[in-house]
Structure 1
Amino acid sequence: MANKRKADASVDEVIDPSDMLSFICLGGGSEVGRSCHIVQYKGKTVMLDAGVHPAYEGISSLPFYDDFDLSTVDILLISHFHLDHAGSLPYVLTKTNFRGRVFMTHPTKAIYKWLMSDSVRVSNTTSEQTTQLFSETDHLSSFSQISAIDYHQTLHHASIAITPYPAGHVLGAAMFLIEIAGLKILFTGDYSREEDRHLVSATLPKHVKPDILITESTYGTASHMPRPEKEARFLSLITSILDRGGRVLMPVFALGRAQELLLILEEYWEMHEKYQQYPIYYASSLARRCMTVYQTYIGAMNDNIRSLFRSKMAAIGEAAGKNGQALGGTSPFDMKWVRSLKSLDRFDDVGGCVMLAAPGMMQNGVSRELLERWCPDPKNGVILTGYSVEGTLAKSILNEPTEIQAFKKENTSRRSGREEAARVMIPRRCSIDELSFAAHVDYGQNSSFIEEVGAKVIILVHGETNAMGRLKSALLSKYHDRKDKPRIYNPKNCEELHIPFKGEKIANVIGKLAKHPPHPSHDIDKAIVKTVPEIFAGVLVQNDFKLSLMSPDDLREYAGLTTTTVVCKQRVPLSSAGAGLVRWSLESMFGGIVAVKKEKPSGFIQEVDDDEADDANEKAIQPEPPKETAEHTGDEVYRVMDCVTVACRSGYVELEWEGNIHNDGIADAILAILLSIESSPASVKYSSKPHSHNHDRPSDHANVSLSSRLDRVLWFLEEQFGDNIQPIEPADDVDIAKGQVNMRLRIQVDEHEAIVQIDPLEVECKFEALRQRIMAVLERAIDTVAPFVDLQADNAADGGS
């Protein structure tokens, strides 16, 4: 039986802290970069991504890890291999108290290993920071702690279920569906809904209905150019720069969109012989290694690339001179017109060419060096094809400044007295164009996906403040007129959200209880049966947030638990009070009690164990109790509230019960009565002199006549309705002759009349509000005047199974 969950709880309701979901952005809140989010629910903690900020270096590039105890994290999920989502993972694994499990897809893990190694080497050679966050040794030693997972594979860890789905952003990118105690959370990471040349678009099965959607808002409310138009514009920009004798620089991430752009260029160059004279360079030390990974995981790509792989029969390309080596072969990524370039030292910068160089933000590395070399020439051009993060050179160059600052410091040996070395300014005369091929959703794609998912709570992350704010406003406007409109949040870094999710707690009835379910009485209205739940008595067991109700006898089989019954015994010395007085006193408190048996008096031969033999020796030295009639000779045993056995023996009373909260309370009450019984006036009178009668006279409380109970119930009704109550005389003379009491009443309130039948308890009234009021008064009156034992019997009859 699956757990059902309400959409959410009202703010005014009192919410159990365990039903409160906590969400906090350690990075990626109202910014793009250093993505890291924390989700906490039901004592479980999931961490989403662990990136760095491309605009900063060192400690300042990290998420705000100091604001959260990472030792409490159960699972860390990496959505894809880009540094702004995975760049600080080695730091988390080696420099913090993180003790959880790390999961990513197989392609992501394969590329992440080489990408991080390259990132460490580049930062060590170009960074101005005196200390580094982690070394390559740290990265490689922590790599074994990462576990790989397949798309659509559901994995359980620490009572958390995770399932990755294709996200379409880069090879291996995943959206993660997380389920904790029945609450479903979908984290999209960076995702794309656009079908391109090699990747499948983001997909989610129809049957998956998350309660919470955590989605990117990179482009806010912007709309992308249609794909055919964008590719035509892209190729037009490149050819126009080449036609004027210039060089084309495209800063890209080493892996991701670069492969898509290379496929476009390879196809165009194959069809246009005019441009085959211009080489296409892929400048990255990871080019050849990671192309091998792309070839390995062709099966994880779309039908287009798989079809191309099956049909391509091109010959292996020859070497393309000293500048690089041609890539060729049967794989779509063995390209004829694309050359890999490991280092600029081997690059002969002569004539026009197309250069794809990392990194995409041009903060350092090959792309930065080529920009400084080519930007003074107006024939050259820079085409930015990805998203540009605030604070990076890629973002600032879009404003077309007249100068850019050189990355390396000039020779300042003659200026040693200055605190800071001056930087060289380089004139910028090259053209700057932006044409985004970033695999992120635009507003139309994002809003339609949000509509398809149908989550009641939407959390926006991975977006600049203005873009995220515009997206939130657009979504609020879209859902304004809906009754079930979702709640939308756009938290900032370190801003904690508390979202209530109070769901129904449903338990599966298993074992013996499931074989014999309770059946409603035929006298009960069917409408009432549908609204009033059946009552089961058993042990409630929780395992991985799943509740099961079972008999104590089934605990070993279904829950793996062993049971122990604790039997409690208590002996109270009583020198004068006999069994009759004990019974009378107990009936005064509990109502009717049950006489279980009459044990044989002393003088009869019985088999006894050692303890009973010791008891017999003790009895021998006890003073003789007062004589009673033959009817009370011997030991009397009573059962109180069907849980405590009271044995009245010679000179003492012994109590025995099965230990639990309910039974212990009743036993305490019986002990209080027994400890005061001999000092009560009744006891003094009983033991002052011998007498011939016994105490079989029943307690008035235990044997209340029907007429007396009716009078007490009438007191309650009169307090509520005053003189508006009239008895209805019995119509049958036979009933009057038999002495039966009048059990029917008429209650008149304004123009409404109600007929009350006491036994059985029924109220007939056309006005439902008055009927419910009278029933409430009657039920409260009966609960008040009835003895405890009668109430317990009624409850057992109504709810036992």
Structure 2
Amino acid sequence: MPEIKVTPLGAGQDVGRSCILVSIGGKNIMLDCGMHMGYNDDRRFPDFSYITQNGRLTDFLDCVIISHFHLDHCGALPYMSEMVGYDGPIYMTHPTKAICPILLEDFRKITVDKKGETNFFTSQMIKDCMKKVIPLNLHQTVQVDDELEIKAYYAGHVLGAAMVHIKVGSESVVYTGDYNMTPDRHLGAAWIDKCRPDILISESTYATTIRDSKRCRERDFLKKVHESIERGGKVLIPVFALGRAQELCILLETFWERMNLKAPIYFSTGLTEKANHYYKLFITWTNQKIRKTFVQRNMFEFKHIKVIMPGYCVQGTIGHKILNGQRKLEMEGRATLDVKLQVEYMSFSAHADAKGIMQLIRMAEPRNMLLVHGEAVKMEFLKGKIEQEFSIDCYMPANGETTTVTTNPSVPVDISLNLLKREMALGGPLPDPKKPRTMHGTLIMKENSLKLVSSEQALKELGLNEHQLRFTCHVQLQDPHSDADTLHRIYTHLKSVLKGYTIQHLPDGTVIVESIVIKVSSSAEDSNTKVLLLSWSYQDEDLGSFLSSLLKKGLPSGIC
């Protein structure tokens, strides 16, 4: 049986270093190639030795797909392509291709120029890596080779984030990357076709969380900010420079205008400023409201805002330590800092919560589910809920652990219009993908495609002569009448039972029902024992079986 194999090299029962290896229909695809923000050693990158101990990755991978520009999904890309060695195609959306090298260079500067680390990718390696990128458009089917095709869908989350549908023959996998099922102030909600993949690989960052409504969270956030500045305090909001910074800038800008507040708002120059530039450039990726008002007013040009922890903090980071109540922080060079501030955690994260993950499953209708990018205990809880509600298998492999899913590939077959019309004329129900039904016809293969046609059409197309194949059976019946009278009684009985069928009593001593022929003869041993010969073609196999069962029960006594 065909099978699909999925192995996380990163993000298996963990958040960070997303890198999923998928083997499907003889093709090997790497989904994301990220780094872990909680490590400063070799553990920050995925373990590529799992793919090959020696030699370039080009020999083993058919393509690499990057879901979005966050470093935990693309941070190891230059290391993988330029230092380990990969020359094949790398796919990502246009906004991701534009923003990704900026984040990679920023990360390189911090790691190499400021911290002095070696064995790291260079600025030139980032440029060489990006030359291998092939940009994707949403809903565009891209043929990677003769058998492998991919299609991108809108994921929300950040500008340019995409879910991807991977297909080889009739087998398919959907990888979500990070996504958000709730529209926010600058991005829309994730959406995908009812594509029914063999496996849906989904992030599960907030596997056990069901958030309050967005309006409640925004109101709570603005209230706390307002109270702090009214007391003469200062508010520091550590946030991703791309995505959450823009979301909160729009929220604060709107609130400042409505309340006529004068307190200054600053965001750091550099990344956030560059990000705003790209948000203006790729305005078509934003939500409907932003696009609609863009001509009159660009929402990313802020009047009141001149540093914009509403996101997920990975274990090991400073943000995670502060949120967990640590009052002393050991910094670079062994310096210790006291934490002298009031900390509030308010989730403005652009990840799907548990409710959103269940919503996506209903949307895509996968045959199997696989969870990545989450914490093991929370994933285990969500896994149970998914299996209970959807009656599908759910997997959550750890890093380096392979999940193998056996598939039952469906073979697509075209059905001729004449055959469908004939089925409808016979009173058959309308075709329904959820209710399989039997169709009688002849299967023809032409130019690698299959077509189901009527036998008459098949003979005509193939230039063949027809040969009739008939089934026969004998039924014994106790009846004291003559053979002719018994046949007439059978004819009368069938007329009363089979409404809507063509039944004929012919002069040659036969009764015909559709293609079924019935003849009567007396047994040589006993003239009261009648032997019925039933003969039918394969088209009327069901009706023939029904008649033989009916006549075995005998004839009602009242029939003349």
Which of the five TM-score ranges fits, normalised by the shorter chain? 0.7 to 0.9
Equivalence for 2:400: 494
- Residue in structure 1 matching 2:275, options 286, 290, 315: 290
Find the aligned partners of 2:278 and 2:305 in 1 and give their Cα distance: 17
Number of the residue aligned with 2:259: 272
* CA distance in 2: counterparts of 1:277 and 1:173, whole angstroms: 34
Partner residue of 1:26? 9
Name the counterpart of 1:400: 325
Cα displacement (A) at 1:239: 2.5
In the TM superposition, residue 110 of structure 1 has moved relative to its aligned partner by: 0.8
Q: Match for 1:499: what amino acid?
A: V
User: Hey, what's the Cα distance between the residues in 2 that align with 1:267 and 1:165?
Assistant: 30
Please tell me whether residue 114 in structure 1 is matched to residue 115 in structure 2.
no
Deviation at 1:169, TM superposition (A): 0.3
Q: For residues 508 and 441 of structure 1, what CA distance do their matches in structure 2 show?
A: 38
Q: Aligned-pair distance for 1:254?
A: 1.7
Q: 1:745–1:756: 8 Å Cα contact kept in structure 2?
A: no
1-side partners of 2:267 and 2:33: how far apart?
28
Q: Is the 8 A contact 1:756 1:764 kept in 2?
A: no
Once residues 273 and 285 of structure 2 are traced to their aligned partners in structure 1, the CA distance between those partners, rounded to angstroms, is: 19
- The verdict on how the C-alpha distance between 1:400 and 1:73 changes in structure 2, with shifts beyond 3 A counting, is same
Query: What is the alpha-carbon distance in structure 2 between the residues aligned to residue 432 and residue 300 of structure 1?
Result: 33
Alignment equivalent of 1:77, drawn from 51, 61, 65: 65
The CA RMSD over aligned residues, in Å, is 3.8
Looking at structure 1, the residues matched to 292 and 351 of structure 2 have their Cα atoms a distance apart, in angstroms, of 25
1:197 corresponds to which of 185, 193, 196? 185
The 3 A distance-change label for structure 1 pair 451 and 427 is same
Contact 1:197-1:260 at 8 Å conserved across structures = yes
The equivalent residue for 1:35 is 18
Partners of 2:522 and 2:7 in 1: CA distance: 64
1:60 is aligned to 43
Displacement, 1:405?
Answer: 1.3
Q: Which amino acid aligns with 2:304?
A: W
In 2, distance between residues paired with 1:754 and 1:115?
88
Which residue of the partner structure matches residue 478 of structure 2?
none
How much has 1:57 moved relative to structure 2? 2.1
User: Any conservation in 2 of the 1:72–1:98 contact (CA below 8 Å)?
Assistant: no
The separation in 2 between residues aligned to 1:287 and 1:535, in whole angstroms, is: 60
Q: Residue 168 of structure 2: which of 154, 176, 180 is its match?
A: 180
Q: Offset at 1:243?
A: 3.1
Which residue of the partner structure matches residue 385 of structure 1? 310
Distance in 2 between residues matched to 1:174 and 1:505, nearest whole Å: 28
Q: Secondary structure at 1:282's aligned position in 2? A: coil
Match of 2:237 among 227, 250, 264: 250
1:160 to 142, 148, 154: 148
Residue 150 of structure 1 aligns with which residue? Answer: 137
Q: Mark the runs of 5 or more structure 2 residues left unpaired by the alignment.
A: 420-437, 453-482, 484-520, 553-560
1:471 pairs with one of 382, 398, 417: 382
Instruction: For 1:273 and 1:764, locate their aligned partners in 2 and report how far apart those are by CA, in whole Å.
Output: 84
CA distance in 1, matches of 2:21, 2:385: 26
Question: 2-side partners of 1:504 and 1:244: how far apart?
Answer: 66
Relative to structure 1, is the Cα distance of residues 504 and 272 closer, same or farther in structure 2, using a 3 angstrom cutoff? closer
CA shift for structure 1 position 249:
1.8
The answer to whether the aligner puts 1:452 opposite 2:363 as a matched pair is yes
- Select 2:353's aligned residue among 420, 442, 451: 442
Kept after mapping to 2: 8 A contact 1:221/1:474: no
Question: Aligned pair 1:301/2:212, yes or no?
Answer: no
- Could you give the per-residue CA deviations for residues 177-223 of structure 1, whole angstroms, max 9, x where no partner exists? 22211223221111111121111111124x53333211111101211
Cα displacement (A) at 1:287: 2.9
| Structure 2: distance between partners of 1:164 and 1:443 | 23
- Partner SS, residue 397 of structure 2: coil
Which SS does the other structure have where 1:60 is aligned? helix
Q: Which secondary structure does the structure 2 equivalent of 1:433 belong to?
A: coil
1:277-426 to structure 2, matched below 5 A, reads 277-278=263-264, 280-312=265-297, 331-339=298-306, 355-356=307-308, 384-406=309-331, 408-409=332-333, 423-426=334-337
Counterparts of 1:238 and 1:757, CA distance in 2: 88
What's the CA shift for 1:242? 2.5
Q: 1:311, 1:137 → 2: CA distance?
A: 40
Shift of 1:502: 2.1
List aligned pairs for 1:706-745, cutoff 5 A. Answer: none
Q: Distance in 1 between matches of 2:19 and 2:66?
A: 9
Aligned-residue sequence identity (percent) comes to: 32
Pair 764,436 (structure 1): closer, same or farther in 2 beyond 3 Å: closer
Distance 1:754 1:141, change over 3 A: farther
| Cα distance between partner residues in 2 of 1:461 and 1:753 | 71
How far off is 1:143 after superposition? 1.2
SS at match of 1:121: helix
| Contact 1:118/1:285, CA 8 A, preserved across alignment | no
The residue identity in structure 1 corresponding to 2:68 is H
Letter in 1 for 2:329: I
Report 1:627-646 matches (<5 A).
none
Work out the CA distance in 2 between the residues paired with 1:455 and 1:242: 49
Who is 1:697 aligned against?
none
Query: What letter is aligned with 2:7?
Result: I
Deviations 1:585-631 (A, max 9, x none): xxxxxxxxxxxxxxxxxxxxxxxxxxxxxxxxxxxxxxxxxxxxxxx
In structure 2, relative to structure 1, the CA distance for the partners of 1:287 and 1:270 (3 Å cut) is: same
Residue 166 of structure 1, CA deviation: 0.9
TM-score in terms of structure 1 length: 0.52
- Pairwise CA distance, 1:448: 2.0
Q: Is this contact kept in 2: 1:754–1:765, CA < 8 A?
A: no
**2:202 alignment counterpart:** 215
Give, in whole Å, the separation in 2 of the partners of 1:82 and 1:745: 87
- 1:28 partner letter: A
State the shift of 1:547 in Å. 6.8
Distance verdict in 2 for CA 1:128–1:504, change over 3 Å: same
Q: Is this contact kept in 2: 1:177–1:187, CA < 8 A?
A: yes
2:312 aligned partner, one-letter code = Y
Say if 1:745 and 1:508 are closer, same or farther in 2 by CA, change over 3 A: farther
Equivalences for 1:640-719 in 2 at 5 Å? none
CA contact (8 A) 1:745 1:757 kept: no
The alignment covers a number of residue pairs equal to 462
C-alpha distance after superposition, 1:273-327 (max 9, x if no partner): 34x233x221142233332211111122112112332333xxxxxxxxxxxxxxx
Matched residues in 2 for 1:764 and 1:452: separation?
A: 43
Cα distance between partner residues in 1 of 2:313 and 2:18: 15
Q: Which amino acid aligns with 1:462?
A: H
Deviation (angstroms), 1:424: 2.9
Q: Deviations over 1:646-675 (max 9, x none)?
A: xxxxxxxxxxxxxxxxxxxxxxxxxxxxxx
Q: Which moved more, 1:25-34 or 1:293-302?
A: 293-302
Seen in structure 2, the aligned counterparts of structure 1 residues 37 and 535 have a Cα distance that, compared at 3 Å, is: closer
Alignment of structure 1 residues 587-606 onto 2, 5 Å: none
Paired with 1:507 and 1:303, the residues of 2 have a C-alpha distance of: 39
CA distance in 1, matches of 2:387, 2:192: 24
Distance 1:535 1:192, change over 3 A: closer
Q: In the aligned structure 2, how far is the partner of 1:44 from the partner of 1:464? A: 29
Q: Deviations over 1:58-102 (max 9, x none)?
A: 421011211014332212111110000111111121122434211
* Conserved? CA contact 2:195–2:365, under 8 Å: no
| Compared CA separation, residues 488 and 535, structure 1 to 2 (3 A) | closer
Which region of structure 1 is more displaced relative to structure 2, 50-59 or 82-91? 50-59
